[in-house]
Amino acid sequence: MLSENEMKLEFISRSNNEAFARIAIAAFVASLDPTIEEIADIKTSVSEAVTNSIVHGYEDRIGLITIICKINDREITIEISDNGKGIENVEMAKQPLYTSKPNLERSGMGFTIMESFMDDLKVESVLGVGTKVTMKKKLKEFKEDKDISLIEALEG
């Protein structure tokens, strides 16, 4: 089992790359044998952060989104950054239902979803420079005997 690993992914801020980012992170984390719930939480959080970069960071222009994902033991750290317009007030933006784009029918729940699905969320942003979202999640301990105990239960 890997105890440390790291990857970096860069792509342009087109909406169809959001699915690519989700799948790439899921594939990278798969070596830790996460539960279905854990992988769904990670994919959803990545999706929210990438979508924020596309819709809010770059608005109507194309820019670069960078994802760095690190594995240390069973903790996943994911940094998603852009060089977009930045967030004027991070604390306000993190409030449930807050959206700077009500005309686009945005729900304003992106940061709330990330906070609820991940163990830790940090948002750093500078106007005119960009935003970096760092999320962490500790995966449950891997149990190698789970298949054996299932077999034993079926035989018993």
pLDDT in tens, 36-87: 999 999 999 999 999 999 988 998 899 999 999 999 989 999 999 999 999 8
Task: Catalytic residue, from 74, 106, 115, 124: name it.
Answer: 106
Q: Which of 48, 59, 152, 155 is catalytic?
A: 48
Comparing 57-61, 111-115, 130-134, the range with the smallest average pLDDT is 111-115
72 is annotated as an active-site residue:
no
Rounded to whole angstroms, the Cα distance separating 137 from 116 reads 11
pLDDT for the residue 148: 47
Give domain limits for the chain. 4-155
Q: Can you tell me the distance from the alpha carbon of 104 to that of 151, in angstroms, rounded to the nearest whole number?
A: 52
pLDDT of residue 152: 53
Q: Is 48 a catalytic residue?
A: yes
Task: Report the pLDDT value the prediction gives residue 92, as an integer from 0 to 100.
Answer: 72
106 catalytic per annotation: yes
The verdict on domain 4-155 having CATH code 3.30.565.10 is: yes
Res. 3 pLDDT band, cuts 50 70 90:
low
Question: What pLDDT is stored for residue 1 in this prediction?
Answer: 46
**Cα–Cα distance measured from residue 134 to residue 58, given in angstroms and rounded to the nearest whole number:** 19
Distance separating alpha carbons of residues 149 and 57, to the nearest angstrom: 49
Exactly one of 18, 22, 38, 52 is catalytic; which is it? 52
